[in-house]
Amino acid sequence: MTDFAGSQYAIEIIYLIASALFILSLKWMSSPATARHGIWAGEIGMVLAIAGTLLRHGIVDWKWIIIALVLGSGIGIPLGMVQMTAVPQRTALSHAFGALCVTLVGTAEFYLRTPTVPRFMMSVLSMEVILGSLTFTGSLMAAGKLQEILPQRPITYKGQNVVNLGMLAIAVATAVYLVLHPEAKQFFPVMVAIPLVFGVFMVIPIGGADMPTVISLLNSYAGLSAAAMGFVLDSKLLIIAGALDGSSGLILSVIMSKAMNRSFTNVLFGAFGQVQTAAAGAQEAKPVHSATPEESAAILAAANKVVIVPGYGMAVAQAQHKVRELYDLLTKKGVEVRFAIHPVAGRMPGHMNVLLAEADIPYDRLIEMDEINGDFPQTDVALVIGANDVTNPAARTDASSPIYGMPILDVDKAHTVMVIKRGMSPGFAGIDNPLYYLPNTLMLFGDAKQFVGAIVRELSGGH
Amino acid sequence: MASNLIDALFIFMLACFIGFEVIRHVSPLLHTPLMSLTNALDAIAVVGAIVLVGERKSTFATVLGFIAIVAATSNVVGGFLITDRMLKMFKSSRPVKK
């Protein structure tokens, strides 16, 4: 018995070290210079924790554990090797996997413990299972939308919020009943099934541009459900890891919704869909100035300071490598080129940074919104590639605009604004962008990749 | 049991504060790798699944635990792998100035 207690202590110490490594891992993520140490710390912590668990006294069957570990690694490797443009959907998918694991473990724990489950344990177990299952289907939906298997536009219908809140209420009521009567195991499947459906319905009304907030929120839920699982299993390591993940997701969602000037409830319950029809109707033909690649190249070559504003359109057109060529050519000509990154540009937090880093653009050229906004009046050319709503000056000036109050990149203050865009159709939010009609704006109509490519040819040929 | 529970709540509270403090300092530049890293760390839930399968208490629990291990391990492996690939791409312009 003393031997058992001894090994038990050893395992707890291993978990303690793993917890410290996890915290360090996140701490080192604060700067790109130390971030890769963070991965090592995380990996070592993870290996220690898994090894420690395998040493536990109660473990009698290793065969299936090993098979599952190998199988999981086999699935994980291709998921870790996806293209950088597929990172948002991969992230959503991994939230789904994490939530699946938590839900399954919670379910198994319930059936092992029923009919006598202490009330507190049943409460956290319910939280674990409800959060886990809604995150599972919600994340699958998000991944489907991002992969464009499912339609990206928000789908709304009358009474949507009532239906959604109703479902959530039923799930919570079931949980309360189970806390009071843990022997009523026939109700447990209800508590799993309803959040599964809720997860689908929750993401249906959410459109592509709101994905950064939703992914962050799902990240937070996945973390919180893991922390709840830590309470159920009395695992401090799991509580800590879950709390870290949960707070990380929460911080990111707060940053994202601030960057869109919207509250959580607004993102989750107030799809932009309703606003769209009204705004789209107000559209009329106004004169715009357009320019050819030759003209654009000449303007860029004559500039001293250029700020490139990338958006989701750049990712869709896969234009980042062409943008990199443009960056190289202009830098060689002595033009100062920087990139202005709006927090919600793209489909997940930090999406643009990863794409541009993949294209070998140094990270010290990628400037956050607050930092670069003051520089636009001194900027010769602001080149907007595939971004729309985040550059819409109506957010600053037009109190009737649905995006009024949202922080934007002040590209309109640059001497010349060039916007690469396929056509005049409004962006995701369906809001007309007055930027396009300004006298200092030039519209460059075409596919982002081809247009940037044409500018690059012009610049390199004309030299 | 009750003291365990209170301990656990304290740990949760402290870990949340540490999480907020640490993550607040993460550069927005690295928000995507941050999310994939926290995802990999979160997959420590695999520990619970391993115990479930290893203790072989019921077939039902073992089957669920098996799927849970597969799901979580794919997050561990995939999460660390892609985070590493992403971070490798972030280069400063200073050391490679040509």
Residue A76 lies in a domain: yes
Whether B5 and chain A come into contact, CB under 8 Å, resolves to: yes
> Which of A67, A65, A46, A45 is CA-nearest to residue A54?
A65
A389 catalytic residue (yes or no) = yes
Q: Are residues A44 and A63 in the same domain?
A: yes
Q: Does B97 touch chain A (CB under 8 A)?
A: no
Distance CA B38, CA B83 (A): 10
pLDDT digits (tens, 9 = 90+) for B12-40: 999 999 999 999 888 888 999 999 999 99
For residue B70, the model assigns a pLDDT of 95
Residue A261, pLDDT > 90, answer no
Q: Does the structure show a pLDDT above 60 at A274?
A: no
- CA nearest B52 in A: which residue? A105
Per-residue confidence band for A104, with pLDDT thresholds at 50, 70 and 90: very high
A236-244: average pLDDT: 94
Q: Are A451 and A385 in contact (CB under 8 A)?
A: no
Nearest chain A CA: its distance from B38 CA (Å):
5
pLDDT in tens, A140-192: 999 999 888 888 777 777 777 888 889 989 999 999 999 999 888 889 999 99
Cis peptide leading into residue A115 (ω within 30°): yes
Q: pLDDT (tens digit, 9 = 90+) per residue, B79-93?
A: 999 999 999 888 887
Does A138 reside within a domain? yes
Cβ pairs A/B, distance under 8 A: 365
Pair A118, A3 in one domain: no
| Confidence at A267, pLDDT banded by 50, 70, 90 | low
Decide which of A27, A52, A81 is a domain's last residue. Answer: A81
**Residue from A34, A53, A57, A94 to probe the interface with B (highest B Cβ count within 10 Å):** A94
Q: Identify the domain containing residue A18 by its residue range.
A: 1-81
Residues A152 and A139: their CA atoms lie apart, in Å, by 14
Chain A residues whose CB is inside 8 A of the B98 CB are none
Q: Does B59 touch chain A if contact means CB atoms closer than 8 Å?
A: no
The pTM for the full model equals 0.89
A154 and A261 share a domain? yes
Selected residues 236-265 of chain A with any CB under 8 Å from a CB in chain B: 236-249, 251-252, 255
Provide the mean pLDDT of chain A.
87
Give the chain A residue whose CA is nearest to the CA of B74: A76
Average pLDDT in the A282-311 region?
84
A277 domain-assigned = no
Within-domain flag for A335:
yes
**B10–chain A Cβ distance below 8 A for any pair:** no
Is it the case that residue B1 has pLDDT exceeding 60?
no
**Domain check: are A450 and A364 in the same one?**
yes
Whether residues B31 and A76 touch (CB distance < 8 A) is answered with: no
Q: Inter-chain contact A101–B45, Cβ cutoff 8 Å?
A: yes
**Cα(A308)–Cα(A408) distance, rounded to whole angstroms?**
14
Least confident window among A149-153, A274-278, A307-311, B88-92: A274-278
ipTM comes to 0.93
Residues A453 and A311 in one domain: yes
Both A77 and A117 in one domain: the answer is: no
The CATH number of whichever domain residue A319 belongs to comes to 3.40.50.1220
**What pLDDT sits at residue A278?**
41
Which chain A residue's Cα is nearest to B2?
A: A120
Sign of CA dihedral A439, A441, A443, A444: positive
From CA A198, how far away is CA A190, in angstroms rounded? 12
Of the residues A101, A225, A361, the best mutation for testing chain B's interface (the one with the most B CB atoms within 10 Å of its CB) is A101
Domain boundary at A81, A110, A138, which? A81
Asked, for residue A278, whether it belongs to a domain, the answer is: no
Long-range Cβ contacts of A317-320 (<8 Å, 24+ apart): A317/A386, A317/A447, A317/A448, A317/A449, A318/A85, A318/A449, A319/A385, A319/A386, A319/A448, A319/A449, A319/A452, A320/A355, A320/A356, A320/A358, A320/A359
Which of B34, B77, B85 is opposite residue A72, by nearest beta carbon? B77
Claim to verify: residue A231 and residue A177 sit in the same structural domain? yes
- Quick check: A230 contacting B, CB < 8 Å? yes
Q: How many CA atoms lie within 13 A of A443 on its CB side?
A: 20
- State the pLDDT confidence band at A194, using cuts at 50, 70 and 90: very high
Q: Do A152 and A224 share a structural domain?
A: yes
Measured distance CA(A6)–CA(A172) in Å, rounded: 41
pLDDT at A4 over 60: no
Q: Which residues pair with A418 in a beta bridge?
A: A383, A442
Residue A139 scores a pLDDT above 90: yes
Residue type for position A242 = G
Contact status of B89 with chain A (Cβ, < 8 Å): yes
- Residue A261, classed as helix, strand or coil, is coil
> In the prediction, which pLDDT does B20 show?
93
Q: Catalytic: which of A210, A245, A389, A447?
A: A389
Q: Which residue of B has its CA nearest to A29?
A: B26
Asked if B35 reaches chain A (Cβ–Cβ under 8 Å), the answer is yes
CB–CB contact A23 B66 (8 Å) = no
Sign of the CA dihedral running A213, A219, A222, A227: negative
Separation CA B98–CA B95 (nearest Å): 9
Using an 8 Å Cβ cutoff, are A278 and B64 in contact?
Answer: no
Residues A303 and A264 both lie in one domain = no
Q: Is residue A171 part of a domain?
A: yes
**Is A142 at the interface with chain B, CB within 8 A?**
no
A182, A257: one domain: yes
Q: Structural domain tally of chain A?
A: 3
pLDDT at A247: 93
A87 assigned to some structural domain: yes
In chain A, % of residues over pLDDT 90: 50
CA angle in degrees (0–180, nearest 5) for A193-A196-A201: 125
For residue A423, CA distances in Å to A65, A166, A409, A447 come to 55, 42, 21, 9
Q: Quick one: pLDDT band at residue A2, thresholds 50, 70, 90?
A: very low
Mean pLDDT of A235-242: 94
Q: What pLDDT is recorded for position A452?
A: 92
Q: What is the mean pLDDT of residues A194-210?
A: 87
User: Is B39 in Cβ contact with A95 (below 8 Å)?
Assistant: yes
Of A105, A237, A366, the CB nearest to B29: A366
Q: Is the pLDDT of residue A272 over 60?
A: no
At A205-225, the pLDDT tens digits run 887 778 888 899 999 999 999
Contact A40, B83 (CB under 8 A): no
**Residue A77 shares a structural domain with residue A88:** no
Q: Is residue A383 part of a domain?
A: yes
> Which of A53, A81, A109 is the C-terminal boundary of a domain?
A81
Are A180 and A304 contained in the same domain?
Answer: no
Q: Chain A residue closest to B25 (CA)?
A: A30
